């Protein structure tokens, strides 16, 4: 390519670039980039979870969110805690102001105005939320799904107590089955998660299971007992803090020593575990995924199912 052609292409490119920059600057000066009037994020006091925001058209939009009604004294004065808008847009209410949801529809209007004066009205719908975990629950049973190679018949769904010889006599898993769980709620986090205190009471026998797997059943080190609390002590003894994340569908327990376990509050139903195995929840259950290790040398054994390749754990509960 000769020098004249190279120079000509360079000049054309420079002119086009300068023209684009000029057009963009003119558009900015004339307010062309300031027509946006969108709600990007919103949070109200006592809101649970994230708001769902939808733009319907240039003039309207909708926002759906959940409010913890039990914690709100006056629905005509629900405080706006957070509001993120498009660049340079303004809202009809400032952070710290109140929105009125006292009408039968549980709705209100939020008006957003762009820097150029264009308007969009968002209709906010509030769903009445009540935290279902609050209250008293009885523990009914402890179930584990475990085993190496379930596709080869190595998996099983078992009551922990069904293999009584695997556990210590005085603090066997059955001692958990008179325990009472009491949940109270004292806060909603900045992320919209509910949180409070869980009391795991030892029940009428005054005992918690120690989850010691008997050394007589230990295939790796015969005669050596195994502490399996890392699998089965998912809800701490005594007091802990629970946090329910509705975005993830989980509930976490934080023990006094800072240990955190995370599970799911399951509803009644039959849950497919794969390879022809399932578990039936009669009322409710807390389920926890367990991180066991395959043990092909001891496949089909109680040791493998309980102590090595534990897969999923269910604490069966009934609300009182």
Domain contains 290: yes
Domain contains 6: no
**How many CB atoms neighbour CB 200 within 10 A?**
21
Q: State pTM to two decimals.
A: 0.79
Give residue-wise pLDDT tens across range 271-283: 999 999 999 999 9
| Statement to judge: residues 137 and 280 lie in one domain | yes
Give residue-wise pLDDT tens across range 240-268: 999 999 989 999 999 999 999 999 999 99
| Statement to judge: residues 262 and 288 lie in one domain | yes
| Statement to judge: residues 112 and 179 lie in one domain | no
Q: Which residue range forms the structural domain that includes residue 104?
A: 28-127
Tally of domains in the chain = 2
Among residues 97, 127, 157, the one where a domain terminates is 127
| Statement to judge: residues 192 and 307 lie in one domain | yes
| Statement to judge: residues 83 and 164 lie in one domain | no
Among residues 127, 144, 174, the one where a domain terminates is 127
CATH code (residue 70): 2.60.40.2340
| Statement to judge: residues 215 and 279 lie in one domain | yes
Query: Which are the contacts of 199, defined by CB distance < 8 A and separation ≥ 6?
Result: 181, 182, 238, 239
DSSP assignment of 113-151 equals E-TTS-EEEEEEEEEEE--TT-EEEEEEEEEEEE-S-GG
| Statement to judge: residues 59 and 137 lie in one domain | no
End-to-end alpha carbon distance in the chain:
86
193: number of CA atoms within 13 Å, CB side?
A: 16
Pair 37, 112: CB distance under 8 Å? yes
Among residues 101, 127, 153, the one where a domain terminates is 127
Helix or strand holding residue 48 (H, E): strand 47-55
pLDDT of residue 242: 99
Ranges of the chain with pLDDT below 50: 1, 3-22, 24-25, 27-28, 31
């Amino acid at each position: 390519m000769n020098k004249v052609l190279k120079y000509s292409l360079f000049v054309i490119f420079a002119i086009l670039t300068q023209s684009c920059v000029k057009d963009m600057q003119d558009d900015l000066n004339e307010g062309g980039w300031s027509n946006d009037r969108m709600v990007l994020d919103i949070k109200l006091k006592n809101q649970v979870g994230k708001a769902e925001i939808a733009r319907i058209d240039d003039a309207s939009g909708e926002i759906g969110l959940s409010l913890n009604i039990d914690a709100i004294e006056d629905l005509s004065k629900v405080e706006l805690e957070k509001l993120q808008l498009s660049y340079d847009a303004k809202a009809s209410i400032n952070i710290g102001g109140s929105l009125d949801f006292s009408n039968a529809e549980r709705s209100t209007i939020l008006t957003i105005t762009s820097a150029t004066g264009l308007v969009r009205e968002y209709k906010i719908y509030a769903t009445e939320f009540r935290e279902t975990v609050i209250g008293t629950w009885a523990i009914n049973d402890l179930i584990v799904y475990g085993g190496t190679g379930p596709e080869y018949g190595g998996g099983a769904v078992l009551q922990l107590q069904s293999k009584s010889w695997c556990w210590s006599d005085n603090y066997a898993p059955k001692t958990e089955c008179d325990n009472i769980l009491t949940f109270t709620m004292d806060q909603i986090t900045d992320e919209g998660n509910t949180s409070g205190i869980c009391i795991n009471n030892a029940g009428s026998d005054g005992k918690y299971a120690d989850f010691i797997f008997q050394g007589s059943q230990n295939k790796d080190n015969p005669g050596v007992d195994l502490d399996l609390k890392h699998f089965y002590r998912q809800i701490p003894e005594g007091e802990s803090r629970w946090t329910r994340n509705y975005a993830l569908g989980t509930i976490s327990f934080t023990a006094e020593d800072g240990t955190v376990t995370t599970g799911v509050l399951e509803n009644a139903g039959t849950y497919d575990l794969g390879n022809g195995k399932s578990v039936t929840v009669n009322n409710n259950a807390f389920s926890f995924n367990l991180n066991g290790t395959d043990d092909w040398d001891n496949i089909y054994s109680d040791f493998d199912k309980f102590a090595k390749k534990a897969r999923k754990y269910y604490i069966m509960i009934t609300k009182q």
